[in-house]
Amino acid sequence: MVTREAPHDLGCSPMSNDKVISLFATTLTGWVNRHQQAVIGYLIEENRIFKQQLNGRRLQLSGNDRR
């Protein structure tokens, strides 16, 4: 009977749960940050266009608009 040994080193080691969780958290954080930056950029541009449409006039808000 011939027995085979499993290779000891295949050039990579299994990741521990801590490393997997850390990688996942880092990836999620990066994605959330990029999404927030895109939203902020959109809102900045939207406000610039609204201000341009006002032609220097003040925006008059009613009491209900402020709530």
* pTM for the structure as a whole: 0.60
Mean of pLDDT values over 22-31: 96
Report, in angstroms and rounded to the nearest whole number, the Rg of the chain calculated over CA atoms.
28
List the single range of 2-6, 21-25, 29-33 with lowest mean pLDDT: 2-6
Q: ∠13-15-18 over CA atoms, to 5°?
A: 150
35-63 per-residue burial string, b: 16 or more CB within 10 A, e: under 16: eeeeeeeeeeeeeeeeeeeeeeeeeeeee
Distance linking the first and last C-alpha atoms of the chain = 82
Give residue 3's pLDDT. 66
Token pair 């809102």 in the structure block, residue: 43
